[in-house]
Amino acid sequence: MTQTAMRPDAHETASGDGVRGKGLGGNSIGLLGSAVIGVSTVAPVYCLTSTLGSTAGEVGLHMPAVFLAGFLPMLLVAFAYRELNKAVPDCGTSFTWTVKAFGPHVGWMCGWGLVIATVIVLSNLAGVATSYFWLLAGEITGSGAVADLDGDKAVHILTCLGLIAAATAVSYRGMTTTKGVQYALVGLQLVVLALFVVLALHQARTGAFPGHADFSWSWLNPFAVKSFASFSAGLSLSIFMYWGWDTCLTANEETIGSEKTPGRAALIAMVVLVGSYLTTTAVAAQMAVGSGTEGLGLANPATSDNVFAALAGPVMGHALGILLFAAVLASAAASLQTTFIPVARTVLAMSTYQALPASYARVHERFRTPGRATVTAGAATGVFYAVMSLLSEHVLVDTIYALGLMICFYYALTAFACAWFFRHDLTRSARDALFKGLFPVLGGLLLTAVFGKTLYDMWNPAYGSGSAVLGVGSVFVIGVGLLLLGLVIMLVMRRRSPAFFRGQVLTAGTPALVVED
């Protein structure tokens, strides 16, 4: 693996503010490719099978309202990302922007939040992909014994590690390879999802299942949720379901028109997602089977962590149900591969700016990718999943709940960074006041509120899977523990790299950026 390390002063901007190019392959993807990668990273089919049941368990038939509520802060934060990207199209995104707005310490922790959130979701993606790999194999072979192999912990973990290794290899080969794979995988999952919606609506119309429900506009009323605790828990899950669109921005240095294209692609991806979640799947699934806790009800605790595994056959029939299994596998596998993009490029940027060891700033000479960072992310994901699987049977549920905390943490910081970064521009025009100030601040405040409420709720062992460590909820232990781990690593890096933490490498202020391909 031939790699080159960027010199400390390489590709520095003309303004001398410290913003640097990384040696990535420029002009590798356009608007469509970027939007597809954004949708792929979110993995709509994977997200739905993992969280439809959990969300229904929290808010019942008001799940569509929670999906709408989760979309609002994501949209507001997306405006912040778009504006920041126009000024500083740097693959470090949240890390780079918060350093320039609030200084190196806040920026480092923001970057850590993104990195650790990505490692968590990579492990969950690999776990879901593994489960559906064996489910699909069992359906194709007609063998229950083959499907049951997923229940063998050793087989499950080894298969999971194999999928992580394959995804790492594809990501290692660069954005061109990534884009080609994604068109097929994203297309498959969206087509099958549309087919599921049509058949679910048909089943609802015929009243095929006992729990079916007639559509009501009250489903879209977030104020009808039984309690604020239930609403905040559902909202945290909803935010997780939209997370990943910012991959479009992380690939900005490899995108044609790096200042504008990534922001536009992110907004396109979010429109596709809210349409898929709200107007189709959530409503259709509730109409077909309801949100009860028995039988095929979405909130049935026996099936809520993997809804499509329970609904595939009853809703779509055996033959088409296999397609749904394939779509979930494709969704998880596609997202597993593209989710390496933000973590590897954030680590690359942090290393380039001396916030992490210099070895992670190496870029492969042929593929123009952050090879060492990509491989390290793959290894960290494999270790994290293996360890958590051995420690807890409920790792999937608990890490998803903890993931919502991480997402709120770094998204909110980025949103506030936008308003502060552009604070001198806010009186120039109404547009600047809205898109650089008001919308980002509102988005940041909403996410901060969810962060605080989630932090309070997750102390209770009943939050998430119900497991606990020394009487404290395991979700709290996972979420807060990982943030504290980042703080410890930052203190170690401050001793090793004092120049960055003194603000001598990446300086604050709006740059006169010169973009290099």
The DSSP secondary structure of 328-366, one letter per residue, reads HHHHHHHHHHHTHHHHHHHHHHHHHTTSS-GGGGEEETT
| pLDDT, tens digit (0-9, with 9 covering 90-100), for 103-140 | 999 999 999 999 998 888 888 888 888 888 998 899 88
In the prediction, which pLDDT does 409 show? Answer: 93
Question: In the structure, what pLDDT confidence band is assigned to residue 17 with cuts at 50, 70 and 90?
Answer: low
Mean pLDDT, to the nearest integer, of 266-275? 86
Question: In the structure, what pLDDT confidence band is assigned to residue 81 with cuts at 50, 70 and 90?
Answer: very high
Q: Residue 352 corresponds to which tokens in the numbers above?
A: 């380039």
In the prediction, which pLDDT does 500 show? Answer: 93
Q: Among residues 166, 374, 343, 176, which one has the least CA distance to residue 244?
A: 343
Could you tell me if 432 and 506 are in contact, meaning their C-beta atoms sit under 8 angstroms apart? no
Question: In the structure, what pLDDT confidence band is assigned to residue 279 with cuts at 50, 70 and 90?
Answer: low
pLDDT at position 280 over 70: no
Residues 6+ apart with CB under 8 A from 123: 381, 384, 385, 388, 399
State pTM to two decimals. Answer: 0.84
pLDDT at position 272 over 80: yes
Question: In the structure, what pLDDT confidence band is assigned to residue 456 with cuts at 50, 70 and 90?
Answer: confident
Question: In the structure, what pLDDT confidence band is assigned to residue 11 with cuts at 50, 70 and 90?
Answer: very low
In the prediction, which pLDDT does 291 show? Answer: 87
Percent of the chain predicted with pLDDT > 70: 90
pLDDT at position 51 over 90: no
| pLDDT, tens digit (0-9, with 9 covering 90-100), for 374-384 | 889 889 888 88
In the prediction, which pLDDT does 8 show? Answer: 39
More confident residue, 2 or 388: 388
In the prediction, which pLDDT does 241 show? Answer: 82
Q: What is the C-alpha to C-alpha distance for residues 372 and 356, in angstroms, rounded to an integer?
A: 13
Q: What is the DSSP letter of 57?
A: H
More confident residue, 255 or 351: 351
Could you tell me if 350 and 108 are in contact, meaning their C-beta atoms sit under 8 angstroms apart? yes
Q: Among residues 23, 443, 428, 462, which one has the least CA distance to residue 253?
A: 23
58-72, 219-233, 393-407: least confident range: 393-407
Handedness of CA 100, 103, 106, 109 (dihedral sign): positive
Q: Residue 37 corresponds to which tokens in the numbers above?
A: 């990668």
Please, what is the average pLDDT of the chain?
84
| pLDDT, tens digit (0-9, with 9 covering 90-100), for 480-502 | 998 999 999 999 999 998 999 99
Q: Measuring CA to CA, how many Å separate 344 from each of 175, 375, 466, 469, 515?
A: 12, 8, 33, 32, 21
Could you tell me if 63 and 219 are in contact, meaning their C-beta atoms sit under 8 angstroms apart? yes
Q: Among residues 108, 123, 113, which one has the least CA distance to residue 379?
A: 123
Could you tell me if 411 and 95 are in contact, meaning their C-beta atoms sit under 8 angstroms apart? no
| pLDDT, tens digit (0-9, with 9 covering 90-100), for 295-329 | 888 888 888 878 888 898 899 988 888 888 888 88
Q: Go through the chain and tell me how many residues it has.
A: 517
In the prediction, which pLDDT does 440 show? Answer: 97
The residue written with tokens 């591969």 in the block is: 337
Q: Among residues 55, 78, 42, 124, which one has the least CA distance to residue 403?
A: 124
